[in-house]
Amino acid sequence: MIHIRNKEEIELIKNSALMVSATLTEVAKMLKPGITTLSIDKMADEFIRDNKGVPSFKGYHGFPFSLCISVNEVVVHGFPSNYLLKDGDIVSIDCGVYMNGFHGDSAYTFAIGNVYEETLKLMRVTKESLYLGIAQAKDNNRVGDISYAIEHYTNKINGYGVVRELVGHGVGRQLHEDPNIPNYGRRGDGKKLKEGMVIAIEPMINLGVKEVFTEQDGWTVKTEDLKPSAHFEHTTVIRKTGGVHLSNFANIELAEENNVELNHTYNLKIQSM
C-alpha cells in the first residue's frame, strides 16, 4: 500500500529526516584518519537518543548497530567495527531516526583525507544523480522516471555500475514502505507518483561492475570487483513540479569543508616540523 501523507505527517517525517541530517553533521565533524567506525556509531546512537529520537536501524531485522558504516568496496549495510579509518578511504554512512511515529532516512559518502580523483568523481556523480532523481519525483510521473534519470547519468553518461539488488523505498510509519524505487529502469514504467507520497531515493553506484555479493555476516554488501562504491540518500516528498528533499546536506557539507581545512592546516604543520 502506498500512503499519501497530509501536511502534519510530512512535517513529522521532516523532523525525523532533519534529525538524521543533524546526526550526519556530527559524524562529519568527527571524521578523520585513526578513528574507529565503532566510535562513530556510539556517538550517533547517543546523539539521537539525547535528542529524543530512536535509531531506526538498531534491531531492524536484527541489524545490530545504529548506523550502517560502509568503507570503500562495501556498498551498504556495513557493520561498525574496530577498523581504523585511514587516509584515502571513503566511508558511506546511512542513518535512520524514528520520532513521533515516523522515520527519516538519509545517507552520505565522505572522503577521509586524500582520496583518488576517480573516486572523488564517483562520489560527486552519485550525489548529482540523487538530485536528478529528486527532480523527477513529481506528481503524475512514474517511479521509472526517477530510476531512468539516475541510471542514465551514472551508467550511460559516466560508465559506472548501478547496483540492482538494493533499491530506494517509501518511508513513513515504517522504515521501508511501498513503492520500491530502483536506481535503474525505463521512463514511464512503474507505479504512478502522487503529491504527498514520501520516498527515500538512494543511488548506490559502483566505480566498476554493478555486481555485488553479501558477506558471511548476512549484511555487509560488497562490490564483486572490490572497487569503491558511493551512496547518497534523501527522504523526499513528491510535489507538483518536482521532489522536495526533507533531509538536508547543507550542514554536512559545511562541516565537511571545515574538516578539509582543518586537515590541510594539520598537514602543513606536520610538513613544517
Residue 189: closest CA among 134, 143, 135, 140: 143
Nearer to Mg ion, 41 or 113 (CB): 41
Nearer to Mg ion, 15 or 263 (CB): 15
Name which position in 99, 134, 198, 200 contacts Mg ion (CB under 5 A). Answer: 200
Nearer to Mg ion, 41 or 105 (CB): 105
Beta bridge partners of 104: 97
Report whether 192 contacts 140 (CB < 8 A): yes
Query: Which string of x and - marks every residue 49-88 that binds Mg ion (by CB under 5 A)?
Result: ----------------------------------------
The least distance separating Mg ion from the CB of residue 150, rounded to whole angstroms, comes to: 14
Taking CB under 5 A as the criterion, which residues in 99-158 touch Mg ion? 105, 107
Query: How far from each other are the two terminal CA atoms of the chain, in whole angstroms?
Result: 63
Task: Return the beta strands (E) in the chain as ranges.
Answer: 54-55, 67-71, 74-76, 90-99, 102-111, 161-162, 168-170, 177-181, 198-201, 204-206, 212-214, 221-223, 229-231, 234-237, 244-245
Q: Which stretch binds Mg ion (CB under 5 A): 11-19, 32-40, 123-131, 226-234?
A: 226-234
Nearer to Mg ion, 37 or 113 (CB): 37
Residue 227, CA distances (Å) to 72, 79, 119 in order: 7, 18, 9
The least distance separating Mg ion from the CB of residue 258, rounded to whole angstroms, comes to: 25
Report whether 110 contacts 84 (CB < 8 A): no
Residue 6, CA distances (Å) to 46, 53, 207, 241 in order: 31, 22, 39, 18
What is the residue whose three cell numbers read 527519516? 104
The least distance separating Mg ion from the CB of residue 181, rounded to whole angstroms, comes to: 9
Nearer to Mg ion, 70 or 155 (CB): 70
Q: Which stretch binds Mg ion (CB under 5 A): 90-98, 152-160, 207-215, 245-253?
A: 90-98
Nearer to Mg ion, 24 or 207 (CB): 24
Cis peptide before 33 (omega within 30 of 0): no
The least distance separating Mg ion from the CB of residue 105, rounded to whole angstroms, comes to: 4
Number of residues forming the site for Mg ion (CB under 5 A)? 5
Q: 240 exposed, middle or buried (CB, 10 Å; 0-12, 13-18, 19+)?
A: exposed
Output the nine-digit C-alpha cell for 83: 577498523
74 CB-near residues (< 8 Å, 6+ apart): 92, 220, 221, 222, 229
Q: Which stretch binds Mg ion (CB under 5 A): 26-34, 182-190, 228-236, 248-256?
A: 228-236
The least distance separating Mg ion from the CB of residue 46, rounded to whole angstroms, comes to: 20
* 230 near Mg ion, rule: CB under 5 A: no
Nearer to Mg ion, 113 or 247 (CB): 247
Name which position in 9, 45, 94, 145 contacts Mg ion (CB under 5 A). Answer: 94
Beta bridge partners of 237: 198, 244
Residues near Mg ion (CB under 5 A) are: 94, 105, 107, 200, 233
